[in-house]
Structure 1
Amino acid sequence: MENRKKVAFYTLGCKLNFSETSTIARNLQDEGFDRVDFEEVADMYVINTCSVTENADKQFKQVVRKAMKLNDKAFVAAVGCYAQLKPEELAAVDGVDLVLGATEKFKLTDYINDLSKNDFGEVHSCEIAEADFYVGSYSIGDRTRAFLKVQDGCDYKCTYCTIPLARGISRSDELENVLKNASEISKQNIKEIVLTGVNIGDYGKGEFGNKKHEHTFLELVQELDKVEGIERLRISSIEPNLLKNETIEFVSKSRTFVPHFHIPLQSGSNDILKLMKRRYQREVYTERVNKIREVMPQACIGVDVIVGFPGETDEHFLETYHFLNDMDISYLHVFTYSERDNTEAAAMEGVVPGNVRAKRSKMMRGLSVKKRRAFYESQLGTNRTVLFESENKEGYIHGFTENYVKVKTPWNPELVNTLHKINLTKIDEDGSVRMDFVTALV
């Protein structure tokens, strides 16, 4: 046992990356590695990269430096989206030994020998058209919640996005395998599963470019609702044109699916949506939000929005701002547009100056604070169910209600990973909500 090597992981980006990091980690553990925290000395450091975040290269270099500071003889491997898009760039970073693209990342053990350092980073990166097979993943780290991957890749051609270049065509896990993974998670005493993917509403497309849907997203949701041992299921981001009324209605009556939706808008201007090559107009978005409010008045609705896209005038921006201000949504994820190589948008006219992008981002973030506050205020005095998380933050334990209100109460380790019926009492200075216990559920 003394010969077992230690491996540490660092994940940049989305929930999907976290689920895949967990799967790669389990593969390495099966091959004789012991997983340790990234803060510890390890024989190998694996960095799962992201192409969506701004300054992706800068973030990556910082993480590599951190690893080298812990152990300058450690083997460093880069995997994931940025590794697929800019493999040579990552390989040139001092300290990096191996770069694996989209099809290679799950075969990490095939590319490592004795973990001795390389003079130059070794690259194994496919043409993205070869990424036509599916690898199922799920994360188990935080004991209260797991990320379950159900779909990968995207067939959409949004003009600002590199994800199709980094992850390939849309393809899905088999329904039986998703249910098997969900069942495995439920046996780990994990109370909540979050469904993840690149474009999960497109669930059902098979491997090798098969465009036929074997199952629909609605069928996936219906079958997952029957899996025993799961207290909560949460849908992560889903495109408005793929979120059907039937799915919304099913969630409203579901045993396990919670009343929380995250629906990307990106712009409230039809002109800009057209330039982005989004597959809907803002009227469709309004219909989705109205439908959710009709059947789930207490639901939490999150929105992605991009500011500073090429061609976005002050009028376009204000159109989006007022559209969201007037809509009954709960919070925003605000992205400041940044140019990406090999995207249509990078060559578009009407570039918005950086200072204008920053100003618009600040305005949108202010609107998000206002929306979240209004949503939390609307929930005061109501009874909800909270799932407590595992961290002690300055003497408090935090958790989320089924409709995604963040709550806090004085730290008590016995509350970790338990569900309780609570009453929401007041909003604290940090924006979270204080609560009174009503009854323990589990």
Structure 2
Amino acid sequence: MDKKVAVHVLGCKVNQYEVEGIKELFKEKGYEIVDFAEKADVYLIHTCTVTHLGDRKSRQFIRKAVKNNPKAIVAVTGCYAQVSPKEVEEIEGVDIVLGTKDRRKIVEIVENAQKGNQLKFIADSNSNREFEELPIFKPSRARAFLKIQEGCDRFCTYCIVPYARGPVKSRDFNNTIAEIQQLVANGFQEIVLTGVHLGTYGKDLTDSKNLFYLINELVKIDKLKRLRISSLDPDDISLDLLNLMTQNEKICSHYHIPLQSGDEFILKKMGRRYTLDHYRKLVKDIRAKRPDAAFTTDVIVGFPGETEDHFTNSAEFIKEIGFADLHVFKYSPRKGTPAADYSNQVPSEIKTLRSSHLMKLSYELWKQYAGKFLGKEGQVLVENLSNNSWEGHTDNYLKTKFEKSLQQDITGEIVTVKLEKIGENKEVYAKLI
């Protein structure tokens, strides 16, 4: 009988990419991946600790796993396990607490646990300076995600990530080039570079090869059609990198640049390393070369001391920039971070109101941005077929749907469509040309 493993992931995109790699490790050893609600031999919960909600949901899914099959091995990995191992250990039924290291060994550790050797040990996230490679996340034949960087040493006052992920670690330069060459040779049209703090890629490498150097080599790969950069902090974008990202047509015209706050006072209290003028100029410089570029961002509401005026300033700056989309987070105090001890913590009901306001603004901004392209042609990378409609993304990351009018499978192809109508769920309906 096949061994079954059920996996649940919480949190950021990096977590999601990692867990797909973990699934591949289990598949390689003959495990069947089943739904988390099913009875399995192994349950793995890849946790998040960015907010209190992440902690709570992590605990809920751990208990759900134990309830689903009390005899199963329950393994807990990820940031919550790394930062709060004692809390995880104390949950009845947990066999393995692994954190953010040694995930490559997860199947071996699970099989040892099945023999009665439990592992409830978390290695210091600062103790290993080597990048841990996991199998690559390939959600479709069209796009592959490659994590090339781990860790962060910025220590923004609100953020638990440096404590959970440890210092900057970069994937080997030559290995990264070779991996992407192989992916492109296998037919992948788009490669997405990901990392915890992607802009610091190469900081720890001895040969001084940074992100600019890497991307400059990647765009030389003949059959690579699209290179997407998942996220870059404003202060990580050098002039050389900016010129490369705006002048090379292979690099997608979508720039996710975290803002966190549009108020100068709050930005400084957060420990961010740029000013609003710096951010404003960066966007202006990119738009001068790519007028149709999509800018998306992360924003935190309810940071300690954020007054109504600070919040209004933030909302006005967001409107001024004209983002295509926002990822809005309510501030959550994280034990061990400086901001958790700041006075003037904002009440939860005010955080909720401010979050709701920005989410509504986000939808309006998205409609304004997407509306500029109606009636125009766009190039869509086809990712999947759903309800007799093809789905994919333009290079500026507009989610696009169009009716299946051809019998052949066009998954993985870049096709030309005419963008016709805006949908309610941040998608654009189109017609294949």
Secondary structure (helix, strand or coil) at the match of 1:266 reads coil
Q: Is the 8 A contact 2:51 2:332 kept in 1?
A: no
Tell me the equivalent position of 1:21: 19
How is 1:148-159 mapped onto 2 (pairs within 5 angstroms)? Answer: 148-159=146-157
Q: More deviation in 258-267 or 93-102? A: 93-102
Give 2:270's match in structure 1, choosing from 276, 282, 288.
276
Question: Where does residue 415 of structure 2 map in the other structure?
Answer: 420
CA distance in 2, matches of 1:8, 1:403: 34
| Residue 320 (1) aligns with residue 314 (2) | yes
Say if 2:73 and 2:110, in contact at 8 Å, map to a contact too: no
Partner Cα separation in structure 1 for residue 78 and residue 185 of structure 2: 29
Q: 1:89 to 1:216 in 2, by over 3 A?
A: same
Structure 2 spans left out of the alignment, 5+ residues: none
Give the equivalent residue in structure 1 for 2:244.
250
Alpha-carbon distance between aligned partners in 2 of 1:35 and 1:100, rounded to the nearest angstrom: 20
Matches within 5 A, 1:401-440: 401-411=394-404, 414-438=409-433
Say which SS state the counterpart of residue 113 (structure 1) adopts. helix
Distance 1:238 1:417 in 2: 26
Q: Does 1:390 align with 2:384?
A: yes
Correspondences of 1:234-383 after superposition (within 5 Å): 234-383=228-377
Tell me how far apart the structure 1 counterparts of residues 51 and 182 of structure 2 sit (CA, whole Å).
32
1: CA distance between counterparts of 2:133 and 2:21?
Answer: 8
8 A Cα contact 2:331 2:351, kept in partner: yes
Deviations 1:226-275, CA, capped at 9 Å, x for gaps: 23443221111110011123223222332421100100011111111111
Q: Report Cα offsets for 1:376-397 as digits up to 9, x if no partner.
A: 01111221111222252x5533
Taking structure 1 as reference, are residues 8 and 232 closer, same or farther at Cα in structure 2, changes over 3 Å only?
farther
The SS at the match of 1:409 is: strand
Shift of 1:411: 4.9
In the alignment, the residues of structure 2 paired with residue 408 and residue 110 of structure 1 have an alpha-carbon distance, to the nearest angstrom, of: 42
Distance apart, 1:165 and its partner CA: 0.3
What is the CA-CA distance between 1:50 and the residue it aligns to? 1.4
Shift of 1:98: 0.6
Q: Residue 114 of structure 1: CA displacement?
A: 5.3
| Residue pair 2:419, 2:429 contacting (<8 A) in 1 also | yes
Q: CA deviation at 1:181?
A: 2.0
What is the match of residue 11 of structure 1? 9
SS of equivalent residue, structure 1 residue 334: strand
Give the secondary-structure state (helix, strand or coil) at the position aligned to 2:234.
coil
Match of 2:44 in 1: 46
Q: TM-score, normalised by structure 1?
A: 0.90
Equivalent pairs, count: 430
Q: Once the two structures are superposed, what CA deviation does each residue of 1:9-60 show, in whole Å capped at 9, x if it has no partner?
A: 2222222223322333333444444444545543212221112244123222
Partner of 2:107: 109
Identity %: 37
Q: Residues 305 and 345 of structure 2 are in contact (CA less than 8 Å); yes or no, is this contact kept in structure 1? A: yes
Render the CA deviation track for 1:337-371: whole Å, top value 9, x for unaligned. 01111100000011111111111111111111111
- Give TM-score scaled by structure 2 length: 0.92
Contact 1:7 / 1:43 at 8 angstroms: preserved in 2? yes
Q: CA deviation at 1:77?
A: 0.7
Greater mean deviation of Cα atoms: 149-158 or 125-134: 125-134
**Which of 303-312 and 325-334 deviates more?**
325-334
Deviation at 1:323, TM superposition (A): 1.0
RMSD of aligned Cα (Å): 2.3
Q: What is the aligned partner in structure 2 of residue 132 from structure 1? A: 129
| Cα offset, 1:70, TM superposition | 4.6
Distance 2:22 2:223 in 1: 25
CA distance in 1, matches of 2:419, 2:102: 48
Range with bigger deviation, 331-340 or 412-421: 412-421
Q: Is the 2:246–2:290 Cα contact (8 Å) retained in structure 1?
A: yes
CA–CA distance in 2 between the matches of 1:299 and 1:158? 28
Rate the CA distance shift 1:95–1:230 in 2: closer, same or farther, 3 A: farther
**Once the two structures are superposed, what CA deviation does each residue of 1:174-206 show, in whole Å capped at 9, x if it has no partner?**
211111221233344333221111111111122
CA distance in 2, matches of 1:391, 1:342: 46
Give the letter aligned to residue 19 of structure 1. Answer: Y
Q: Sort the Cα spacing of 1:308 and 1:42 in 2 relative to 1 into closer, same or farther, 3 A.
A: same
2:202 is aligned to: 204
Counterpart CA distance in 2 for 1:57 and 1:248 is 37
Partners of 2:68 and 2:222 in 1: CA distance: 43
Shift of 1:130: 0.6
Q: Greater CA deviation, 421-430 or 233-242?
A: 421-430
